[in-house]
Structure 1
Amino acid sequence: MKKLKSILSSMLAMSVLLSGCIKDNVNESIGTLNPEISLYTLRSLYKNADLQLNESSLQGAQYIKAVVVSRVENKNLPENTLAVQNIWRNQRRGILVEVPNASEFKFGDSVQINISGSKLIKKDGLLVLSVDNNQLLKVYSSGNNIAPLPVAVSSLKSKFDEFESTYIDITADVEPEPAAGTALKGDKILMDGDKNEITLHTQDNATFAGQSIAPSASFRGIAFKEGEKLQVRMQSYADMAYASGKLYTGWPETFDAVDASVKGSYDMKDKNVVSFPTGQWYLYQAILGNTAGRDRIVSGKNAIRMQQNLNVDGYVQMNFDVPNGASKVTIWYGSYWTDRSSTFKLEYSTDNGKTWTQTGESISDAHTTTESMNSKQAVFLMNIQGAVRFRVTKLGLGTSNNVINNGRLGLDDIAIYKSY
C-alpha cells in the first residue's frame, strides 16, 4: 500500500509539473500566427511570377517593418519608388516599394507597411512591392542614422540578391580616370583592384548630377540593376565619401601569390619576410590563413591571420615604398572565426622604415564570423606627398580577460591610393 501511495504521489506531482509546463507554453504550437514578416521571407515568396499578397500567400502575415534608405527628393531612383531594408536573424535584405506619392517618406524613416492586398512584381530584374495606397504605410519613427554596408565589388557581383535594394558602400576607382570637373550624370564604370566592374548610375535629373566625380571614392547608394547591368545609385552628393587619388597599379595586395605554407608559423625568425607582387612584406606574429569560414578571405585563397594573447605587437609591414604619396588606405578586417576582438592601428614611414607615425584612430571592433561572414572595411584618409610605406600594427595587449580583448585578427586586400 505504501508503495502504491508513493507511485500515486509521484504521478500526481508529475501531472502538476506537466500542467505547469503546458500553461507556460500556451499557443507554442496552436497559437496565433505572427502578423509581421521579414523582407528575407517576403522575397522568398516570389517564384518568377507576379504574386498577389493576401492572407493565404502570406501565411497569416499582414505587414513588414523596415527603414527607408532612399532620398526621393534627390531623384536618383524611378519616380515614386522607395528603397527599404530590414534585418532578420542577421540577414539584411531590401526591396523597392512603389507608392502613389513617395515624397511623404524620408531617409531614416522607420515604416510599417500593410502588405495584404499589395503585389510582388519584377521590373527590369528587380523585385518590387507595389502598394496602391500611401495610407498603408505608417511612419513610426524618423531621423534614424543608417550606415551603408561596405561590400566588395566581387561580392556584390557574386551575391547580388543578398544586397539588392539595400544601402551599400563600394570602394573603387572610376575608369577611365575622369578629367577634373567631370560631372556625375550618366553611367560611370567603377573598378576595383582585381578589375571587377560595376556601374555608377546618376539620372540626368538627379539634383547632384552636375557635381564633379572624384577619381576614386567610397561610393554609397542603393544596389540596383537594369536588366543584367548591376548598378550603384547614390542618394546624395555626400554619398561619394573618402574621395581620393586612384588606386596604385597592382593593388590591393591580396596575399594570394604564394602558398599559405610559405608563412605557416607566426614567428619564423629569419623567414618572416615574404615576397608578394607589390613587394616584400614583414609578417611578424602573422601567418597566411586559408581556412574557409574562419579566415577573413575577401578575395582569392589566402588572408592574413595575426596571433592572439601576446604581450608584444605584431606587424604586417611593407619593406618597400610606393612612390607618389598617399591619400587613402583601405583594409578589410574581422576576427578570426569566433575569437574576441583585438586592437590594431595603421602607421606610415617616410624615411624607409626608420620611424613610424600612426595615422587615423586605432580600431577595436573586429567581429566574429558567426556575427557576419562579411568583413568590415577600415578607411584611412591622409595627405602624404612623396615616397611612403605602411604597416598594420596589432597591439600586444596581453592575454584576453574580463577587460582585455586580444583575439586573432584577420586582414585581407590592403589597398593604397595615390595622393590627390
Structure 2
Amino acid sequence: MLGTWTSCEYDNYEAQEGSLSPVIAIQDIRHLYKGEDVVLTRQNMKEAYQVRGTVISDYANGNVVPGTIVLQSFKKGLTKGITLHLGDAAANFALGDSLLVENIENAVLTKVNGALQLRGINPGSITKVATNRPVTPINVTAYLLDSLPENYEATLVRVYAGAIKPNPSVTDTYTGLKALTDGTDTIDLNTEPSATFATATLPASATFTGIAMPFAASPADAPKARLWPRNLNDMVDVGGPIYEGFPETFEGPTKTSYTSPATLDLKTGKWRFTQALLGPTAGRDRFSLPGLQAVRFQQNLSSAAYLQMEFNVLNGASKVSFSYGAYYTDASSTFRLEYSTDDGKTWKAYGPNITDANSVAKTITYTMDIPGKVRFRINKLGLGTTNNTSINNGRLNIDDFAVYEKM
C-alpha cells in the first residue's frame, strides 16, 4: 500500500515499478537540510541512493565556484537544482551533460555562503548518460529572485529587460558584482575573475540568463540573490541605457473607467488611454509583482484601443520591452507596437502583430535603431466580438513598459 508522508517529507515511491525508487529527487535532498550538515543515508533518503539531472553550469567558461558543478532536474512538477562539489573532477562535466550519480550515500549536505552543496561524492560514481541536453530557463523577475532566493537556488533563470545601474561606461567589464535591475527589484550580477568573459565590455541593458544562487556571508545573514551568467551567449537583446524613470509600471493613479480620464500623468510622463483602464485584480490582471496594477484594454471592440506615450524620449531608441497577458480567462487578442518620430502626428508599426496573449504573462523585447526623438504606443486592433474561431478579441494586460536609449 502506498504510504502517505507529511508535507515536510517526500514520496520516493516509483508507481510504475511498485517499489521504492533508488533515485531521489533533488528537491527531496534539499528538504533534508534543517540548518545543520546532514550525512545522506538510505534511511533518511527512504532507501534511495542515487540522483540524476542535467549540468547547467559551464565549467569551461569559468564563471563557477571552483571545483563545483550545478545539477538541475524537473520532477514532480518542480524545477530544482543543487551544487555538487567534485574538486578537480568538476572539469570533466560540461554544460548540457545528463548525469546519473550512482551513489550519494555518505555524501554531506551542507551550506556554503548561503547555498546548499553536496560534498564527498566519488566522481567515479557519476555516469554521463547524454551530452548537449537543452535546458530552458525559468522566466523570473528580479523581485522574485530577491524575495524568494532559495526557491530558485541552483536553477537556470532568465531576467528580461535587465539594466545595469549605474549606467556602465565603455570601459566597464563584467568582472565582479554589478547591480542588475528590471524595474521590479535589484539583484547582483556575479562574474568571477576566472570567467572567460570577465573582461568583456558590460552592456547597459540586456536579457540576462544565468544560474540563480543565493549568497550569505554568514549563517546569520539573510541570503541575497545573485545571478551567475555562464557565458557571453547568456546575454541577448543587448541595448543602450534604460531611460530615466522607466520602466513605466503604471502604479501611480487609479483609473477604473475604460473611457475617462483620457490621459494620466505617470512617473515617466503623460500617457493617453483609449478604451483602457488600470486593472488591480490579483489573479486576473497580469501585473508584475511587487506591482498592484496593470493596463487593461477593453474586449470585443470594432475600433482600435491604444496605450500611447504623449511625450518623446530624445536620445533615440535601441530597445523597447514590456510584459503582456490575457485578462483572467479571456481569449487572446491582436496588438502591435507602433512608433512616431513626428510628435505623434503619424505612426508606424514596429514588428509583427502579436496574437499569443494568454493567462501566463510574458515579456517581449524589440531591438531597434531609431535616432532622435521618438514615442511609442500599443495598438490593440479592433477585430470585433470574440467567437473563439476566426476572431479572438479578449481583454489584454500590459505592464512594465521600458524604453532604452540608442546605443
Out of 62, 68, 87, the position equivalent to 2:74 is 87
1:98–1:130 CA contact under 8 A, matched in 2:
yes
**1:332 aligns to what?**
323
**1:14 aligns to what?**
none
Q: Aligned partners of 1:381, 1:361: CA distance in 2, in Å?
A: 13
**Residue by residue, what CA displacement relative to the aligned partner does 1:27-49 show, whole Å, maximum 9, x if unpaired?**
97994234444333332222112
**1:386 aligns to what?**
372
**1:409 aligns to what?**
396
Q: What is the deviation of 1:90?
A: 4.3
2:270–2:310 CA contact under 8 A, matched in 1:
yes
Superposed, 1:179-194 pairs within 5 Å as 179-193=169-183
C-alpha spacing 1:104/1:306, structure 2 compared with 1 (3 Å)? farther
Measured on the aligned residues, the alpha-carbon RMSD in Å equals: 2.6
For the pair shown, the structure with the greater C-alpha radius of gyration is 1
Out of 359, 362, 365, the position equivalent to 2:350 is 359
SS in 1 for 2:19: coil
1:307–1:314 CA contact under 8 A, matched in 2:
yes
Out of 205, 212, 224, the position equivalent to 1:216 is 205
Aligned length: 383
Q: What is the deviation of 1:175?
A: 2.6
**Residue by residue, what CA displacement relative to the aligned partner does 1:17-75 show, whole Å, maximum 9, x if unpaired?**
xxxxxxxxxx9799423444433333222211222223221223444442221111011
Superposed, 1:282-297 pairs within 5 Å as 282-297=272-287
Match of 1:208, as an amino acid?
A: F
**1:313 aligns to what?**
304
Q: Aligned partners of 2:208, 2:137: CA distance in 1, in Å?
A: 10
2:73–2:80 CA contact under 8 A, matched in 1:
yes
1:253 aligns with 2:244: no
**1:275 aligns to what?**
265
C-alpha spacing 1:275/1:143, structure 2 compared with 1 (3 Å)? same
SS in 2 for 1:304: strand
Q: Aligned partners of 1:180, 1:334: CA distance in 2, in Å?
A: 36
Match of 1:188, as an amino acid?
A: K
C-alpha spacing 1:364/1:60, structure 2 compared with 1 (3 Å)? farther
**Residue by residue, what CA displacement relative to the aligned partner does 1:239-272 show, whole Å, maximum 9, x if unpaired?**
222221111111111111112xx2x233x1x633
2:331–2:388 CA contact under 8 A, matched in 1:
no
Q: What is the deviation of 1:328?
A: 1.0
Match of 1:245, as an amino acid?
A: G
Q: Aligned partners of 1:105, 1:131: CA distance in 2, in Å?
A: 17
C-alpha spacing 1:40/1:339, structure 2 compared with 1 (3 Å)? farther
Q: What is the deviation of 1:403?
A: 5.8
Q: Aligned partners of 1:277, 1:58: CA distance in 2, in Å?
A: 53
2:104–2:121 CA contact under 8 A, matched in 1:
no
1:53–1:115 CA contact under 8 A, matched in 2:
no
**1:368 aligns to what?**
359
Q: Aligned partners of 1:313, 1:361: CA distance in 2, in Å?
A: 16
2:23–2:51 CA contact under 8 A, matched in 1:
yes
C-alpha spacing 1:351/1:302, structure 2 compared with 1 (3 Å)? same
Match of 1:379, as an amino acid?
A: T
**2:44 aligns to what?**
57
Q: Aligned partners of 2:390, 2:108: CA distance in 1, in Å?
A: 51
**Residue by residue, what CA displacement relative to the aligned partner does 1:197-227 show, whole Å, maximum 9, x if unpaired?**
3222211121111111112222221112331
1:242 aligns with 2:237: yes
C-alpha spacing 1:409/1:115, structure 2 compared with 1 (3 Å)? farther
Q: Aligned partners of 2:36, 2:233: CA distance in 1, in Å?
A: 37
Q: Aligned partners of 2:45, 2:143: CA distance in 1, in Å?
A: 34
TM-score w.r.t. structure 1 length?
Answer: 0.82
Unpaired runs of 5+ residues, structure 2, are 1-13, 217-222
**1:106 aligns to what?**
94
C-alpha spacing 1:120/1:247, structure 2 compared with 1 (3 Å)? same
TM-score w.r.t. structure 2 length?
Answer: 0.85
1:122 aligns with 2:125: no
Match of 1:226, as an amino acid?
A: F
**2:7 aligns to what?**
none
**1:13 aligns to what?**
none
**1:372 aligns to what?**
none
Match of 1:265, as an amino acid?
A: S
**2:219 aligns to what?**
none
C-alpha spacing 1:386/1:167, structure 2 compared with 1 (3 Å)? same
Q: Aligned partners of 1:141, 1:29: CA distance in 2, in Å?
A: 23
Match of 1:277, as an amino acid?
A: K
Deviates more, 1:81-90 or 1:181-190: 81-90
Q: Percent identity among equivalent residues?
A: 38
Instruction: Point out the structure with the larger helix share.
Output: 1
Q: Aligned partners of 2:103, 2:191: CA distance in 1, in Å?
A: 30
Out of 166, 186, 194, the position equivalent to 2:155 is 166
**2:59 aligns to what?**
72
**1:96 aligns to what?**
83
Match of 1:317, as an amino acid?
A: Q
